[in-house]
Amino acid sequence: MIVHLLTLVWNRWRSGMLVVVEIFFCFIVVYAVLAAGAYFAEQYAHPLGFSYENVWNISMEYRGEYPGAVEASERTQRLLQAVRSIDEAEEVASATVVPYGSSTYMRSFELKGHPVSVLSNWADAKFDDVMGIQPVRGRWFEEGDESQNWIPMIINEHLAQAIFGKEDPIGKLFPTMSEGERERRIIGVIRDFRSGGELSVPDNYYFEYAVSKDTNAMMPRDIVFRVRAGTQAGFSERLVERLHAEYPDTIYRIKALVDMRKSAMQTKLVPLLIAGIVAGFLLLMAGLGLVGVLWQNVSRRTREIGLRRAVGAGVRDIYKQILGELFVLMSFALLVGTLLVLQVPLLNLISNVPVSVYFTSLAGALGVMYLLALVCGLYPAILATRIQPTEALHYE
Amino acid sequence: MIRNYLLVAWKVLLRRKFFTFISLFGICFTLMVLMMAIALIDHTFAPHEPETRLDRMLGIYTVTLKSPSRNSITVSSPGYGFLNRYARTLPGIQDFSICTATSSFSMFVRGRELTLDLKQTDGAYWRILDFTFLEGRPFTVEEDNGGIPVAVISDAVRRQLFGKESALGRTITAEGKLCRIIGVVTSVPILRAAAYADVWVPVGAFREGPDTELTGRYRALILAKSASDFPRIKAEYQARLRQVEFPDPTEYNLIISATETFAEQIAGEIVPNLFGIEDAKYPVNILLWFGGLAAFLFMLLPAVNLVNINISRIMERSSEIGVRKSFGASSRALVGQFIVENLVLVSIGGALGLLMSWLMLRWIAALELIPHAEFQLNYRIFLYAFFITVFFGVFSGVYPAWRMSRLHPIAALKGGVRS
């Protein structure tokens, strides 16, 4: 049966070849869009590690020279106090990197001779309450942690796995990142803290305790606070005035994390949406083209099909022939396409993409293309079954 | 003869309406997508008001400092003093302006938060760019040098702050400084990088920090006398970079910077990120080649589709071709006929596609996805559309026509064509 179909297709390779080319390009487009979608879906499935509802962020832009560590930490305390003084704020904390913000800090250390990069953040003792972070092992920072002669540190599971494998990391020393720094000790492990949001790549992450007796205390950059559920946005003007009264040399911007999340999502998803729409239209175009070609094919082969009907071929046999030929062409194009797209993971052309993404999108694209073949082949096949044996006999 | 061809072409199009629809749909849609992309690119990179002299403009956007050991590298915007000292007096330039990139600040209007983009500029800025003033005037070089807190705002800001009233003489608090509004300009879309802002204030009133720093938060806009002066300006700037005095030569002793056109700056940012090519000599060309290749690949699928449909059409008409061949029509005449037919089809598709892209652009502008942006079809875009349509006509017509001319008359007459 299959050999017979192959022979039929091979004898008419010239008309089939262009269809193959078209299907091939179509497959590549569908695969690319599905792979991008699958990549985002894969990221989305990972736990975020924090909650963003009812959390607001104040980002602070200081315009001036660094006033020294004492002044910097005093500023942080006074600004935190100012936010606490408004009724709406339930929990208030400060951190250097907030979720959905634009800044990230990356450091690196050496592990078994290989450089490992890690996202870093500095947070205070209340940050876990505001962001709803639950340590899976150990504990979060506590006031008084600054009195240790080492820097308390909290790492995510990804990083714990990378450094310590299956061992319990609590109480262990963190690898040195640069010469002359104080040693860091791990006091807790969190599930994750994906500050880039749901669509960011899960990565190594650590928190250092922001309150320290070090001489290099940073200028306050971000304050986050949790409000009661259902609080309206009306308080931000009052809050800005309050903060401005405290330190007028800084620009304050207040935003709900929900809004920051929305715009962060949009910048990543809108291009994918546009690509998806364009790919959808290309698919429609290719599908219509396929219907046209098959239709014409059937009407040209009236004699052949009529003859088959005359010698006793049933409706099912005709369906089998028309659809079978299409599937042979389709499979040939998809085989070439699959071999081509498999080069991407094999040659590791794009880094940082999990292998599963390639295979789910490959399976998805193959499924879409075969479905397209079925839908496009159906109408011409029905036309073919309606051919009467008598029509065929007119010709000779 | 041609009239005859056109008539036949029209009849053929009407005969198989489904095929005609598929062809037109393909051409229309492809043209529309490409037109949108081109309109966006044109809107970003071609001279539009107020950047009407973009073809003569250069900018200095970044400086890179390297330590004696080359281990420590700082990339930053240039400092005011640096630009003033080493770039202002470059030969062959007509005008020179120092401004900042935009920074956003928020204010509250009737309890609602309003985030506005602020740009600090000098007096020459208003001569380099071609703003339309709805009321008032730009600030002058003297006002900038004197550090007088005045402001120019956009039409949209005036509407939000003062409704329909005149804004002249009113005040606005930008970054904690009270500024008197002296002018209102037509709102500028965010894609016009040199011109875009909501509020413009004199750099002199806001400048802080020492004058000697190489890095800061400024950029320079240079208006050359003509684009042919670009190589001379660029070469002279490189020569001056070698004479820069470093405040602390043990910290940094090498400075890298360039005078770039807007396209060069954008391409210089995109190319290393997208293709991993660092320090490409002609990043704009790389980007253009890549864009051209992407457009070609995008057109390939619809073109192959069109070829398929065309071949189907021809095979259906094999008996007609057989008759014409038997009565002595040459292959060339048949090919000519088919190509004319195909061009008729493609032109109709092209016209429809252009109409649809016009409607889509109107719709997108109405959606205000990019505030104040007006995507318009101009003669450049029309030219691109024409080229794309011709590409389709030729690409999709030649192979089927060749196949057609090779049909054997006897086989064609019988209607049984081996394919």
- B142-198: per-residue pLDDT in tens? 988 888 899 999 999 999 899 888 999 999 988 778 899 999 999 998 888 889 999
Which residues, other chains included, contact A359 with Cβ-Cβ below 8 Å and sequence gap of 6+? none
For all residues of chain B together, what is the average pLDDT? 85
Q: Name the closest residue on chain B to residue A21, using Cα atoms.
A: B304
Contact B24, B348 (CB under 8 A): yes
Contact A46, A126 (CB under 8 A): no
Q: Name the closest residue on chain A to residue B206, using Cα atoms.
A: A63
Name the β-bridge partners of B104: B117
> The tokens of A380 are what?
């011409």
Query: Which tens digit of pLDDT belongs to each residue from A164-180?
Result: 988 899 998 888 877 77
3-class SS at A285?
helix
B105 — contact with chain A (CB < 8 Å)?
yes
Q: What confidence category does residue A18 fall into, taking pLDDT thresholds of 50, 70 and 90?
A: confident
Q: Which of A25, A285, A303 sits opposite B300 (nearest CB)?
A: A25
Give the mean model confidence (pLDDT) for residues B402-418.
Answer: 70
Distance from CA of B385 to the nearest CA of A (A): 18
In which order are the strands placed within the sheet that holds B218-224? B57-60, B218-224, B93-100
DSSP B271-322: HHHHH--TT-S-HHHHHHHHHHHHHHHHHHHHHHHHHHHHHHHHHHTHHHHH
B109 — contact with chain A (CB < 8 Å)?
no
Radius of gyration of chain A (CA): 32
| CA pair distance A252, A248, nearest whole angstrom | 9
Interface test with B, best of A24, A260, A293 (most B CBs within 10 A): A293
Query: Which tens digit of pLDDT belongs to each residue from A64-82?
Result: 777 888 888 888 889 999 9
Q: Which of A14, A281, A292 sits opposite B18 (nearest CB)?
A: A292
Dihedral over Cα of A337, A341, A342, A343: its sign? positive
pLDDT of B252 higher than 70: yes
Contact A46, A292 (CB under 8 A): no
Q: Which of A26, A254, A288 sits opposite B22 (nearest CB)?
A: A288
Query: Which tens digit of pLDDT belongs to each residue from B259-275?
Result: 988 888 888 877 776 77
Name the β-bridge partners of B152: B183, B200
- Displacement of CA B86 from its chain's centroid (Å): 31
Query: Which tens digit of pLDDT belongs to each residue from B308-343?
Result: 888 888 877 777 888 888 888 888 888 888 888 888
Which residue is it, tokens 């499979």?
A: A331
A375: left (phi over 0), alpha (psi -120 to 50) or beta: alpha
Contact B261, B58 (CB under 8 A): yes
pLDDT of A202 higher than 90: no
Q: What confidence category does residue A293 fall into, taking pLDDT thresholds of 50, 70 and 90?
A: confident
| CA pair distance B190, B44, nearest whole angstrom | 9
Which residues, other chains included, contact A59 with Cβ-Cβ below 8 Å and sequence gap of 6+? A98, A101, A221, A222, A252, A253, A255
Contact B68, B253 (CB under 8 A): yes
Which residue is it, tokens 């308080």?
A: A235
Contact B301 A288 (CB under 8 A): no
| CA pair distance B221, B194, nearest whole angstrom | 8
CA end-to-end span of chain B:
30
| CA pair distance B39, B48, nearest whole angstrom | 12
| CA pair distance B359, B377, nearest whole angstrom | 10
pLDDT of B112 higher than 80: no
| CA pair distance A83, A296, nearest whole angstrom | 74
Q: Which pLDDT score, from 0 to 100, does residue B407 have?
A: 75
| CA pair distance B158, B163, nearest whole angstrom | 7
Q: Which of A124-133, A206-215, B93-102 is the least confident region? A: A206-215
For all residues of chain A together, what is the average pLDDT? 86
Give the mean model confidence (pLDDT) for residues A382-390.
Answer: 82
Query: Which tens digit of pLDDT belongs to each residue from A86-121?
Result: 888 899 999 888 898 777 788 888 888 888 888 888
B175 — contact with chain A (CB < 8 Å)?
yes
B305 — contact with chain A (CB < 8 Å)?
yes
Q: Which pLDDT score, from 0 to 100, does residue B42 have?
A: 83
Q: Name the closest residue on chain A to residue B396, using Cα atoms.
A: A18
Q: What confidence category does residue A390 fall into, taking pLDDT thresholds of 50, 70 and 90?
A: confident
pLDDT of A246 higher than 80: yes
Q: What confidence category does residue B83 fall into, taking pLDDT thresholds of 50, 70 and 90?
A: very high
- Displacement of CA A308 from its chain's centroid (Å): 53
Q: Name the closest residue on chain B to residue A300, using Cα atoms.
A: B316
Contact A253 B115 (CB under 8 A): yes
Q: What confidence category does residue B418 fall into, taking pLDDT thresholds of 50, 70 and 90?
A: very low
Q: What is the pTM of this model?
A: 0.78
Query: Which tens digit of pLDDT belongs to each residue from B221-250?
Result: 999 999 899 999 999 999 999 999 888 888
pLDDT of B408 higher than 80: no
Angstrom distances, CA of residue B191 to CA of A64, B88, B369:
30, 26, 12
Residues of A with CB under 8 A from a CB of B: 12, 14-15, 18-19, 21-22, 25-26, 29, 61, 63-64, 234, 236-237, 240, 248-249, 251, 253-254, 278, 281-282, 285-286, 288-289, 291-293, 295-297, 299-300, 303, 395
DSSP A171-202: TPBPPP-STTPPPEEEEEEES---TT-TTSPP
Domain boundaries, chain B: 2-47+285-414, 62-259
Give the mean model confidence (pLDDT) for residues A268-292.
Answer: 88
Q: How high is the ipTM of this complex?
A: 0.73
Contact B301 A295 (CB under 8 A): no
| CA pair distance B351, B388, nearest whole angstrom | 12
| CA pair distance B385, B193, nearest whole angstrom | 27
pLDDT of B419 higher than 50: no
Query: Which tens digit of pLDDT belongs to each residue from A185-199?
Result: 999 999 999 988 888
Q: Which pLDDT score, from 0 to 100, does residue A298 have?
A: 82
Contact B111 A234 (CB under 8 A): yes
Domain boundaries, chain A: 2-46+264-395, 65-248
Contacts of A291 in chain B (CB under 8 A): 22
Q: Which of B105, B113, B415 sits opposite A251 (nearest CB)?
A: B105
The two beta strands, B199-202 and B112-121, are parallel
Q: What confidence category does residue B415 fall into, taking pLDDT thresholds of 50, 70 and 90?
A: low
> The tokens of A197 are what?
């949001």
> The tokens of A35 are what?
């792979």
Percent of chain B exceeding pLDDT 70 equals: 95
Q: Which of B115, B175, B309 sits opposite A292 (nearest CB)?
A: B309
Contact A25 B175 (CB under 8 A): no
Query: Which tens digit of pLDDT belongs to each residue from B340-397?
Result: 888 888 889 889 988 998 888 888 878 777 777 777 777 888 888 888 888 778 778 8
SS3 content of chain B, % helix, strand, coil (to 5): 50, 20, 30
Q: Which pLDDT score, from 0 to 100, does residue A212 have?
A: 65
Q: Which pLDDT score, from 0 to 100, does residue B210 have?
A: 62
Which residues, other chains included, contact B330 with Cβ-Cβ below 8 Å and sequence gap of 6+? none
Q: What is the DSSP letter of B244?
A: P
> The tokens of A356 are what?
């599963």
